Amino acid sequence: MGFGVEGGGEALGANCSRRMPELQPCGGRSGGTMGGMIPRMDLTIGRGARGVAGLTHKVVTQGVLTAAGDSEDSARRWQSGGKAMIGRSGTATWPRHQAHSGWHRRNIGVSVCFRLALVGTVLLVLAASWGMAQSSITVVSGSVVTIGLGASDGVVPGMTGQVDTTVTAGGVQRTLPIANFSVAEVDRRSCRASLSQVGPGFEVTPGMAVRFDQALAKVSPPPTVIQTPRPAPTPAQIPRPMEIPVATPTVPTPTPAARLVGPAPGETRRSDETGSDYAWVPPGTFMMGCVPGDTECSQDERPRHSVRLQSGLWLATSEVTVAQYNAFARATGRQHPPTPAFAQTDRDPVVNVTWDDASAYCAWAGGRLPSEAEWEHAARGGHNEYGYVWGDSPDLRAVGKVANVADEAARRVHPKWPVFDGYDDGYAATSPSSAFPPNDYCLFDMAGNVREWTSDWYDKDYYLRPVPTDPQGPASGKERVARDGAWDSRPNELRISDRFRLPPGERLDDLGFRCVLDRAPSGPPSTCSGDTRPTSPAGPNAGN
């Protein structure tokens, strides 16, 4: 922001504190009656605004000029005419005796200059925000906020914007963007969005204003049909019984509610090629890594960082089953994986598959393995603040049967195992797919049953060099990343952020996978109920 006065010259802006020819307010060379010097002028450098980007200097009437800027400027020395000195306090003083009788006219110029600049600032702010859809935050839950605009206002998943706050510096009020957001879920009158890039020293709170980057096409509500009641008939107007007319009442046809563009989060469809169900995971921004307060966090899960996925994905609702893998092996001639030491049904997840086995199956099914970031985004189900798929607490006794993990059933077979004390899911090893409730994206077994291969190579320091948009992992490595806990996992291995690494040729009886489709499945919509087909003993011919 700059200031100028009649008589020409340079505008007072970020350099006003450094360039004050002849101590003239608003800079420049004086002309005509604008000559003269202010008898005493204080130049104050604010030290409290270091975290506020974009603050500029300002002028206050009555001969006081206040600047908000870097505190290093406080140690500078400005020289002009009377050799004004600035000490560590950040105040510059010019002796009164340097002024002459024209100083009061210059003071009037300062006042005019300030008012003109203030009007210019308002116009700039209005111009910058013109056409931007605005609302405010109603609820803050960790890094997820609820905004008071929804589908009826034209909001759709994937929209982005900024959170604004108002700061006052030197008596001047400024509106500053302090965080970005990306919409993940939309209701009719509100939406949930994930925060990212929150400015240091700032906190997002309810009531803060938000601005969308995209224009909103507001959905008009159904028209209201108003029927004017007929006046009551007089006795003379009442027809005889045989003359009573039979009128068909008019019922207004309701206008169907506007449907959001694109699939809804968790919407499921079936693939004609494999018979597998896939759920829609929307694009958006989420926080990847350990949640605050996680005492089990490993070093390779830090630091927590913001990741943006620009495209949504169709992720299989369940891990690939024994029956599905057997069909692939028969169709391609690929060898069946070794049979585990425990019994399985054809609906149990296939295990003992290598990374190449899993990649080959997904390619045959028309898809691929998910990246590590895609897997964590999907597992969170829109809940950035969750440490576990089911919530914040590792105490499964308080939440019911939600996952197949190392429990009392496993302890009966393996007495020395560390398990979830007092929790019994009923399975000592793998369980059929969709035996436990899904998360909010209709994804089953995102905690427990078997670990799942991802497409990423492993690097313990990868989070120290985070890729903010669509990360695909390191270009090379010796081990691949697997996510999810398993039927034999201890409590700390069930955390969403937990990372597991192993050579791509490894075969384990607690390791499986699920696939991603980058295009919508070819089959019809399905329900979020998982695989409800009857089970049968597993084997090379299962699933026929």
Distance CA 492, CA 485 (A): 9
The tokens for 278 are 């896939």
Give the pLDDT confidence of 186-207 residue by residue, as tens digits.
887 888 888 887 776 678 888 8
**What is the full DSSP assignment across 160-177?**
EEEEEEEEEETTEEEEEE
Output DSSP code: residue 284: E
Determine the average pLDDT of the residues in 130-138.
66
**CATH of 268-526 given 3.40.190.10, 3.40.640.10, 3.55.40.20, 3.90.1580.10:** 3.90.1580.10
Tell me what pLDDT residue 535 has.
Answer: 47
Query: Residue 523: what pLDDT?
Result: 85
pLDDT of residue 201: 67
Mean pLDDT of the region 442-454: 97
Residue-wise pLDDT tens digits, 467-505: 999 999 999 999 999 999 999 998 889 999 999 999 999
Per-residue pLDDT reduced to its tens digit, 332-382: 999 999 999 999 999 999 999 999 999 999 999 999 999 999 999 999 999
Question: What amino acid is encoded at 252 in this protein?
Answer: P
pLDDT at residue 107 greater than cutoff 50 = no
- Comparing 210-224, 321-335, 353-367, 442-456, the range with the smallest average pLDDT is 210-224
Read off the tokens for 468.
Answer: 């903010």
Take residue 7 and report the two structure tokens written for it: 């008589």
State the pLDDT at residue 307.
96
Supply the pLDDT for residue 330.
96
| Tokens linked to 495 | 């955390």
What whole-number distance in Å separates Cα of residue 55 and Cα of residue 90? 17
CA 384 vs CA 45, 170, 285, 389, 437: distances in Å = 40, 38, 10, 10, 19
Q: What is the predicted pLDDT for the residue at 232? A: 55
Is residue 240 scored above 80 in pLDDT? no
Superfamily of the domain at 134-212: FlgT, C-terminal domain (2.40.10.410)
Residue with tokens 């952020």: 497
- Residue entry with tokens 């009531």: 207
Q: What are phi and psi of 314, to 5 degrees?
A: -100, 110
CA 391 to chain CA centroid, nearest Å:
18
Q: Tell me the longest C-alpha to C-alpha distance in the chain.
A: 111
- Picking from 174, 167, 164, the residue whose alpha carbon sits closest to that of residue 205 is 164
| More confident: 234 or 349 | 349
What pLDDT was estimated at residue 488? 96
Alpha carbons within 13 angstroms on the beta-carbon side of residue 127 total: 6
CB 296 within 8 A of CB 258: no
Does 325 have pLDDT greater than 60?
A: yes
Given a cut of 70, whether residue 208 has pLDDT beyond it is yes
- Residue 242 pLDDT > 90, yes or no? no
CA proximity to 156, closest of 112, 217, 206, 97? 217
> Looking at 77-91, 137-151, 308-322, 439-453, which range is the least confident one?
77-91
- DSSP 8-state secondary structure symbol assigned to residue 527: -
d(CA 26, CA 42): 14
Q: How many Cα atoms sit within 13 Å of 214 on the Cβ side?
A: 14
Q: How many residues does the chain have?
A: 544
**If pLDDT is split at 50, 70 and 90, which confidence band does 18 have?**
very low
- Domain spans in the chain, listed from the N-terminal domain onward: 21-129, 134-212, 268-526
Pairing mode, strands 172-186 and 160-169: antiparallel
What pLDDT is stored for residue 436 in this prediction? 95
pLDDT of residue 263: 87
Query: Mean pLDDT, the chain, as a whole number?
Result: 74
- pLDDT: which is higher, 291 or 31: 291
Q: Which residue has the higher pLDDT, 366 or 230?
A: 366
Amino acid at 22: E
- Return the bridge partners of 436, or none: none
Structure tokens at 473: 């992992």
Which tens digits make up the pLDDT trace of 370-422? 999 999 999 999 999 999 999 988 888 888 899 999 999 999 999 999 898 99
Give the 3-state secondary structure percentages of the chain, helix then strand then coil, rounded to 5.
20, 20, 60
Tell me how far CA of residue 121 lies from CA of 59, 109, 135, 310, 512, in angstroms.
Answer: 13, 18, 22, 35, 60
